[in-house]
Structure 1
Amino acid sequence: MSVEPKLKRFNQSVLSKYQIYNSIFMTLPFDSVTKTGVLLPLFHETCEKGFKKGDDPTTIVDTFFEKYQARRSKESQINLLFRFIQYIERQVVLFDAIEDAAFPTVNNMEGVGTLRNLKGSAISEDKLEELKEYLEEFKVRIVLTAHPTQFYPGSVLGIITDLTKAIKENNLSEINNLFGQLGKTPFFKHKKPTPYDEAKSLIWYLENVFYQSFGDIYNYIQQNIFTDAKKHNEIINIGFWPGGDRDGNPFVKPDTTLKVANKLKQAILKKYYEDLKKLRRKLTFRGVEKRIIKLETILYNYSIDLNYKKAISAQELIDELLSIRDLVVEEHQSLYVNEINDLINRVHMFGYNFATLDIRQDSRIHHSVFTTVIDHLIETGSSSFPKNYHDLSEAEQIEILSKADDNIKHLDVFEDEMVYNTLKTISVIKDIQASNGERGANRYIISNNQTALNVMQLFAMLKIVAFKEELTVDVVPLFETITDLENAPSVMEQLYSNPQYMAHLKARGMKQTIMLGFSDGTKDGGYLMANWGIYKAKELLTEMSRKYDVTAIFFDGRGGPPARGGGKTHQFYASLGPTIEDKEVQLTIQGQTISSNFGTLDSSQYNLEQLISSGIMNKLKEKNRMSDEDRVVMSDLAETSYQTYKNFKSHPMFIPYLERMSTLKYYAKTNIGSRPSKRGTSDKLVFSDLRAIPFVGSWSQLKQNVPGFFGVGTALKQYEDRGEFDKVEHLYNNSKFFKTLLENSMMSLTKSFFDLTKYMSKDEEFGAFWNIIYEEYQTTKRLLLKLTGYSELMENEPSGKASIQVRESIVLPLLTIQQYALKKVQELEKAGIDNDEKKIFEKIVTRSLFGNINASRNSA
């Protein structure tokens, strides 16, 4: 059978459908929608023509008003801008739903990177046994975080799901109803969500997508690769941060963590109950039906009341299901045995915890909490800590911490809220393990981890508070900045050399999880250096861990867009060489990356299979080792780009530009995340206090995706100037890692649009700074095209590029309105005016953030 090219499939299944449904949406019988729908194409055309002519956003909006709205009052014109924003937001939803519906058509669900394809190539290369071995030890863990990079409230996510289904079925009357619902459903949140709200909205994905797709993948492996009904390695599992991630979020309290763990348990019990209810209709046989009904009743009551007296454990549930299965095989001709297996497999995968709740806190907080704890223990006089503990060297402190066996019986002796909450959280981990099983919460991540002392402080604290007998928690250091990444191997060696810490690792299967951050790395060191810094750190950490017989498990804070370390994730994992430990792939997934890559059963299954096969292909195929010459070039490029980015960051206009010309300060007003948008409390903007998401997001709203390309062009140009461009070409042709990096950088360039802000080049204060960015963009674009031999960016991914172009086109009027309003605010501020008019323009800026970020979902 012939398969149409991917771009053609995209145009037929996505683009043409969008054009048809968009015209239906315009004719909705709501007065405001119809009028807006008629005027928006005119405004869109005015924007396109205006930017081609070199007009600025203010001129474009004024031209439109003069031509089509001249008789309207100022107030009426402003109202129209708000209506445009609301209308465009809904167009983005429509496009999302159509793209989701077309996912299995546009993407080949049996093509390269799928399990079916993996099995086929393993058989043809006579490597099936090797594949089985890998599947028994390899793991993929995706960790859902609440980082706010998406603005859809739960109600809108529900509409997208229903709309996707209706579009798939071509159900016009249902599509019409959903359009009506979409037109009347508010997108704006009037107050910030609580961490518990964030957890609930992500549990929706667990219940509606992952429960099904994880199970289907596991079943496929069991039935088609192993061809048995035996229990195998649960190849995919899921981590969960909302309710456990305290880093910079004062609203996550110990009771939040407990509440989220309970919610996760109730959610999984409810899923098992629903499956048992379906089984009950099928297993109507003598000796079986009563047992299924009994299980169904127990799980129904247990899901409502976690203190239910007749509750059974996860192991008891599996044992009973296995016994029922044996009976069905022996006495009832194996009728519906696959359905029983499905449920057994899911209980094996999800237990009573559904997802593993990770705890995360900053090392600086731990240090201050721990200082208080030690002072208290020394004061009581019954402590193993010497009175001069704080004056000792780091090595001496680590020695004492590794053997600390004090006991804190009553946490309420600590009056300081942060101290009490930090310690209480540790005892809550113990409670969750008792209720949900050890996998319910067994990892504690230390962000901003700089030293071995940071790890040992937490190690000792965990034991002192709740885990004196046996520490069933993995301590996970997170190395984020370029300097921390460079120091990481020596930090780990210090830990591996400590007998007590090593004894703990032995009890944990000689595995050490190490988290490596991308977002802050990119913010700190620029695009090439952040990625190369992590690559090198992984190599050295692999070598160091192997020296001590420890398996390093790397957990990547990969974010969404390339600027936050994301991009084509599976290609990235497939590009790692033999010098990097790859027994597991672990990465954070957040915001629009969750909905775009894992939001439907099709996309979730496809992208999980791509991750599984990328890790396994890396093992089965010939390793892609980087030569010494290529490493020299890669290091040199990273170093040049790092210096270029550092100089740019220290430019006196860098912070003022972000503060006054971008949408940075408006992020806090969007009410999309529970945590504050910056770390410090000072009114003055300090670079180190900036959170990566508003930082990257602000560049994205300006359509100048600086963190995804700045410094790349200058680094390449040095080789061109020296007449050594062939060395870069050699690296590009030989290194999948470098190739993947540059392809992701191209995506950042494709989503940049400098005509939007060209007016800034004439600004007295910021003109020169804007020109620095634009020149780097042009240099990077020119040299990436030269290096790849493409005539245009993303030439090798025509369907991905087409999707980006449609989305960018949808939000063009939105960005124009945003820039228009920003300019008005700046003019009023310069004139020292702070009135209602300024507040209205600020509101326009805030509201226009939403649609643009949501439209960027395919940045992942």
Structure 2
Amino acid sequence: MLNDQKIEKFRQIVENKFQIYNSLFMSLPYDKMTNIGMLLPFLYEESREGYQLGKSPEDIVEEFFQKHTDLETEEQKTELLFKIIQYIERQVVLFDSIEDAAFQQLHHETDTGTILNMYDRATQEYHLTAIRKKMDDFAIKIVFTAHPTQFYPNAVQRIIHDLRDAIIHDSVTQIDTLLQQLGKTPFVNKERPTPLDEAMSIIYYLRYVYYQSIGELYKKIKQVFGTSNFTPNPDIIQLGFWPGGDRDGNPFVTADITLQVAEELRISILKDYYGHLKIVRRRLSFRGVSDILDTLSKTIYAAIFQKEIKISADEIISQLNEAEKILVEEHNGLFRDVIDDYRDRVRIFGTHFATLDIRQDSRIHQKVMDDIYTKVSGLPADAKTPDEKIEFLLSSSATLNPGDFEDEMTCETLKSIYNIRKIQDNNGERGMHRYIISNSDEVKDVMNVYVMMRLCGYAEHEINIDIVPLFETMEGLDKSEEVMKTLYNDPVYQKHLKKRHNKQIIMLGFSDGTKDGGYLKANWQIYTSKEKLTKISEDNDVKVIFFDGRGGPPARGGGKTHDFYASQGNTIANNQIELTIQGQTITSVFGNKDQAKFNFEQLLTAGIENDVFKSHKKDLDKHERQLITELADISYKKYSDLKAHPMFVPYLQEMSTLEYYGRTNIGSRPSKRGAGSELKFEDLRAIPFVGSWAQLKQNVPGFFGFGFALKSLKDQGRFDEVEALYKGSDFFKTLVLNSMMSMNKTYFPLTYYMRNNPKFGEFWNVLFSEFELSKEMMLELTGYKILMQEEPLNRKSVKIREKIVLPLLSIQQYALIKLQKNEGDRDTYEKLVMRSLFGNINASRNSA
């Protein structure tokens, strides 16, 4: 009944509004876009009916031209297709804005996973004391990355923000004006953004969304759970930041860029403090208090615009405490809550706003270490093993100067390490305190960073940095337990850990794990690796914090985030929930204040409830473990066979949009790691890999092998065991539902034409057969009649979005076919493919 009410509300405030404003949209005088709104429904109908009849995108688009236009030349036809793309891009923005505007009405502050819901449940079950105890030493951390899965330029993001507000207030005149602005605003960056551009794009969200949403959420937590003798830790919600510090595969992130971004973060939070202080001063106009606040305001202003003037968070808090003392003693504590709220913001955000991380690949570090060894020892790099080099360099008294090295990467790496001290001096230690090592699978990968810091003049007690291994491949995950065991027992690393309060952060890569091992195997491997790492850490009295490299869609570790973290059993350390957020997930899940507060709450309560509210469905018994292991191994073999298929990489290269990701001006980072021209599977970045399957509407990494594994057990007469597993394990159920979400966004009719392709037909049929099998098996397992049956609102949203972009998919496939046939102007068709990438990705928001 409740779902029916929500669906009806969605229809009224989202679907109906979209129809109304879309009609307004159609009549606007866009440049060169006259009558597109009239033609678009015809292309949609031709596509919808044509695909059901098995027609190819080429036939569908050509029939559209013949039936509904009088265009004759190729140039005229492609010009019309570009106009349609531009129109659909703006329709997607309109729908985004309407759905965002409806968020508050579709979600209630007592919904499952909210602070109030957790309080009510804790009160009923007598767990308030346990929750307060957990809050005292628990945190969630959202780490923003620059990974390019979001295609809106900054100007368009600003319009979306304003359009959402206009829709909330039903201001038709304002909506009309903003839609006109949208029609004339380019959706494509003329040039590839720099890492600094990417950083500034996300800093916009920090300043105008998260400063308010996190501040208000912390205030709410204090009001609900605070008592006279308990105040929640201000560090309970934290922000991390990768743009400008993530060097992995990005040659454009230099040591100087990192310094610039750190300075922008410092200045940005001071600007927020300065603006907020104006509001505080408006209320606290009392003698003595106003003088202190006026002085503070001038100091913050000076620190923003004069580099030589610095102010620390402690200094700001000290002046606020002084003002509060006078307020209480002389003015009856009037508006004390105003100063309290402001001081909490300073405690939360410091002078860093978000923690800037450094990240680099372990293989790059090894080359740098080889260079250093040769310089210090005078011997060739291959004279010693990596471990012997570490031992030699640790005993060396050398202090390295970046300028003494000819190799640019060595010089830049050392400059970055020297910069850590500068950033910590300016932004506080919280401003930069982690060095993340991608592709970690050996002890040396961690120790190399430690050695480089020692050689850059940091004494043992001065290394105020957490060295964070990132285990992301199947091999890395397999080795992770042994690597950490060895590190925990290494005397040098033991001393370093003691300095870091015996806390170890370990990062796990969902995106690359899924690319490497398939959906089920990757998730189970990460789960069991976390269990082993938890035990080895506890055995060595180390507090382990897991940092999950999760993307937006389930194929990259996204999906139902609250359900995922709420399903972790007591065998996995739950000291902090930390995960990456990127691209369209930033705008769709944390893009405005209401959404951000709601989703921060969902993560926070998931972690706290997981410890406080025990459930047998969170813990796996021996039989359940064996069953998941068996299913994971079967699916892994199926997925590995697919990867080994001779057509796997050629199919992506020739039939998908894979090679076009790197040509779009959406991110500063290259789309593959290797520098060679030959495309290798291991060099593929997870984002273009998963994204290309999504553009084909096949979403292979989100389900392939899962259905085959289920069918294998059914054929053995053991499906009742799997059904019991689904009903008894929250973790397994979440994996199934996430995989079904991937399949719900799949549309194989778009590529039916490939099944008869002489080169790729057999491979396409392998993909299609596994999709059909997975869908059939999962529906049988869940008892659902349709995919995402338990999520009617998301399903409805997906359906509308898929309808909007269907003509866009037709255009993209039409252009790809022309390119495959080598027909027409190649440059024009390549541009059509790239332009249609944008709208397709931007429309795929229902993923986390």
TM-score with structure 2 setting the length: 0.97
Query: Quick one: distance in 2 between partners of 1:504 and 1:30?
Result: 62
2:586 to 594, 600, 604: 594
Does the 8 A contact of 2:374 with 2:380 survive in 1? no
Query: What are the within-5 Å matches in structure 2 for residues 560-571 of structure 1?
Result: 560-571=552-563
| Cross-structure match for 1:450 | 441
SS of the equivalent of 2:211 reads: helix
> Is residue 439 from structure 1 mapped to residue 430 from structure 2 by the alignment?
yes
Query: Quick one: distance in 2 between partners of 1:2 and 1:518?
Result: 34
User: What CA deviation, in whole Å up to 9, does each residue of 1:428-482 have, x standing for no partner?
Assistant: 1111001111111110000001101111111111121142242100000000111
| Cross-structure match for 2:168 | 168
| Cross-structure match for 1:611 | 603
Does the 8 A contact of 2:400 with 2:455 survive in 1? no
| Cross-structure match for 2:312 | 313
Q: CA deviation at 1:710?
A: 0.5
SS of the equivalent of 2:830 reads: helix
| Cross-structure match for 1:532 | 524
> Is residue 353 from structure 1 mapped to residue 366 from structure 2 by the alignment?
no
Query: Quick one: distance in 2 between partners of 1:409 and 1:746?
Result: 53
Query: What are the within-5 Å matches in structure 2 for residues 648-727 of structure 1?
Result: 648-727=642-721
Query: Quick one: distance in 2 between partners of 1:197 and 1:349?
Result: 25
Please identify, of 629-638 and 68-77, the stretch whose mean Cα deviation from structure 2 is larger.
68-77
> Is residue 492 from structure 1 mapped to residue 484 from structure 2 by the alignment?
yes
Please identify, of 213-222 and 761-770, the stretch whose mean Cα deviation from structure 2 is larger.
213-222
Query: Quick one: distance in 1 between partners of 2:634 and 2:218?
Result: 45
Query: Quick one: distance in 2 between partners of 1:586 and 1:231?
Result: 19
SS of the equivalent of 1:669 reads: coil
Residues 461/31 of structure 1: CA separation in 2 closer, same or farther (3 Å cut) = closer
Query: What are the within-5 Å matches in structure 2 for residues 282-297 of structure 1?
Result: 282-297=283-298
Residues 398/544 of structure 1: CA separation in 2 closer, same or farther (3 Å cut) = farther
Does the 8 A contact of 1:149 with 1:693 survive in 2? yes
Does the 8 A contact of 1:26 with 1:33 survive in 2? no
| Cross-structure match for 2:576 | 584
Does the 8 A contact of 1:279 with 1:340 survive in 2? yes
Query: What are the within-5 Å matches in structure 2 for residues 35-46 of structure 1?
Result: 35-46=35-46
Does the 8 A contact of 1:575 with 1:618 survive in 2? yes
Query: Quick one: distance in 1 between partners of 2:254 and 2:720?
Result: 56
Query: Quick one: distance in 1 between partners of 2:577 and 2:498?
Result: 22
> Is residue 465 from structure 1 mapped to residue 464 from structure 2 by the alignment?
no
What amino acid is aligned across from residue 225 of structure 1 in structure 2?
F
Please identify, of 109-118 and 640-649, the stretch whose mean Cα deviation from structure 2 is larger.
109-118
Aligned pair count reads 844
Query: Quick one: distance in 1 between partners of 2:729 and 2:688?
Result: 32
TM-score with structure 1 setting the length: 0.96
Residues 405/323 of structure 1: CA separation in 2 closer, same or farther (3 Å cut) = farther
User: What CA deviation, in whole Å up to 9, does each residue of 1:747-786 have, x standing for no partner?
Assistant: 1100000000000001111111100000000000000000
Query: Quick one: distance in 2 between partners of 1:342 and 1:231?
Result: 13
User: What CA deviation, in whole Å up to 9, does each residue of 1:94-143 have, x standing for no partner?
Assistant: 01101110011112222111111111111221111111111111110110
Residues 653/500 of structure 1: CA separation in 2 closer, same or farther (3 Å cut) = same
| Cross-structure match for 2:811 | 817
What amino acid is aligned across from residue 574 of structure 1 in structure 2?
A
What amino acid is aligned across from residue 276 of structure 1 in structure 2?
L
| Cross-structure match for 1:127 | 127
1:789 to 770, 777, 783: 783
Q: CA deviation at 1:284?
A: 1.1
Query: Quick one: distance in 1 between partners of 2:716 and 2:435?
Result: 48
Q: CA deviation at 1:393?
A: 5.7
Unaligned runs of 5+ in 2: none
SS of the equivalent of 2:35 reads: helix
Does the 8 A contact of 2:471 with 2:508 survive in 1? yes
Q: CA deviation at 1:16?
A: 1.1
1:741 to 717, 735, 738: 735
What amino acid is aligned across from residue 715 of structure 2 in structure 1?
D
| Cross-structure match for 1:147 | 147
Query: Quick one: distance in 1 between partners of 2:777 and 2:4?
Result: 32
Q: CA deviation at 1:7?
A: 2.0
Moved over 4 A (4+): 1-4, 228-231, 387-401
| Cross-structure match for 1:271 | 272
Query: Quick one: distance in 2 between partners of 1:319 and 1:488?
Result: 44
> Is residue 502 from structure 1 mapped to residue 494 from structure 2 by the alignment?
yes
Residues 328/276 of structure 1: CA separation in 2 closer, same or farther (3 Å cut) = same
Residues 663/423 of structure 1: CA separation in 2 closer, same or farther (3 Å cut) = same
SS of the equivalent of 1:475 reads: strand
Unaligned runs of 5+ in 1: 380-386
What amino acid is aligned across from residue 305 of structure 1 in structure 2?
Q
What amino acid is aligned across from residue 848 of structure 1 in structure 2?
S
Does the 8 A contact of 2:544 with 2:573 survive in 1? yes
Query: Quick one: distance in 1 between partners of 2:729 and 2:647?
Result: 37
> Is residue 376 from structure 1 mapped to residue 375 from structure 2 by the alignment?
yes
> Is residue 424 from structure 1 mapped to residue 415 from structure 2 by the alignment?
yes
Residues 388/89 of structure 1: CA separation in 2 closer, same or farther (3 Å cut) = closer
Query: Quick one: distance in 1 between partners of 2:34 and 2:331?
Result: 61
Q: CA deviation at 1:34?
A: 3.9
| Cross-structure match for 2:98 | 98
Does the 8 A contact of 2:352 with 2:427 survive in 1? yes
Residues 802/416 of structure 1: CA separation in 2 closer, same or farther (3 Å cut) = same
SS of the equivalent of 1:250 reads: coil
Q: CA deviation at 1:391?
A: 5.0
Query: Quick one: distance in 1 between partners of 2:381 and 2:753?
Result: 60
Please identify, of 163-172 and 406-415, the stretch whose mean Cα deviation from structure 2 is larger.
406-415
Does the 8 A contact of 2:31 with 2:184 survive in 1? no
RMSD (CA atoms): 1.6
2:836 to 845, 848, 852: 848
Query: Quick one: distance in 2 between partners of 1:859 and 1:719?
Result: 29
Does the 8 A contact of 1:137 with 1:233 survive in 2? no
Does the 8 A contact of 1:760 with 1:770 survive in 2? yes
Query: Quick one: distance in 2 between partners of 1:3 and 1:826?
Result: 46
Query: Quick one: distance in 2 between partners of 1:629 and 1:524?
Result: 26
Residues 296/54 of structure 1: CA separation in 2 closer, same or farther (3 Å cut) = same
Query: Quick one: distance in 2 between partners of 1:92 and 1:358?
Result: 33
Query: Quick one: distance in 1 between partners of 2:339 and 2:382?
Result: 59
What amino acid is aligned across from residue 7 of structure 1 in structure 2?
I
Q: CA deviation at 1:4?
A: 6.5
Q: CA deviation at 1:312?
A: 3.0
SS of the equivalent of 1:460 reads: helix
Query: Quick one: distance in 2 between partners of 1:726 and 1:487?
Result: 34
Does the 8 A contact of 1:189 with 1:672 survive in 2? yes
Query: Quick one: distance in 2 between partners of 1:743 and 1:446?
Result: 32
What amino acid is aligned across from residue 504 of structure 2 in structure 1?
Q
Does the 8 A contact of 2:132 with 2:232 survive in 1? no
Query: Quick one: distance in 2 between partners of 1:151 and 1:389?
Result: 43
Query: Quick one: distance in 2 between partners of 1:674 and 1:91?
Result: 27
| Cross-structure match for 2:75 | 75
Query: What are the within-5 Å matches in structure 2 for residues 11-410 of structure 1?
Result: 11-30=11-30, 32-228=32-228, 232-308=233-309, 311-379=310-378, 403-404=394-395, 406-410=397-401
> Is residue 762 from structure 1 mapped to residue 763 from structure 2 by the alignment?
no
Q: CA deviation at 1:158?
A: 0.3
Please identify, of 464-473 and 207-216, the stretch whose mean Cα deviation from structure 2 is larger.
464-473
| Cross-structure match for 1:541 | 533
SS of the equivalent of 1:18 reads: helix
1:772 to 752, 755, 766: 766
What amino acid is aligned across from residue 242 of structure 1 in structure 2?
P
Residues 286/57 of structure 1: CA separation in 2 closer, same or farther (3 Å cut) = same
User: What CA deviation, in whole Å up to 9, does each residue of 1:156-178 have, x standing for no partner?
Assistant: 00000000000000111100000
Residues 274/319 of structure 1: CA separation in 2 closer, same or farther (3 Å cut) = same
Q: CA deviation at 1:305?
A: 2.0
Q: CA deviation at 1:2?
A: 8.4
What amino acid is aligned across from residue 799 of structure 1 in structure 2?
L
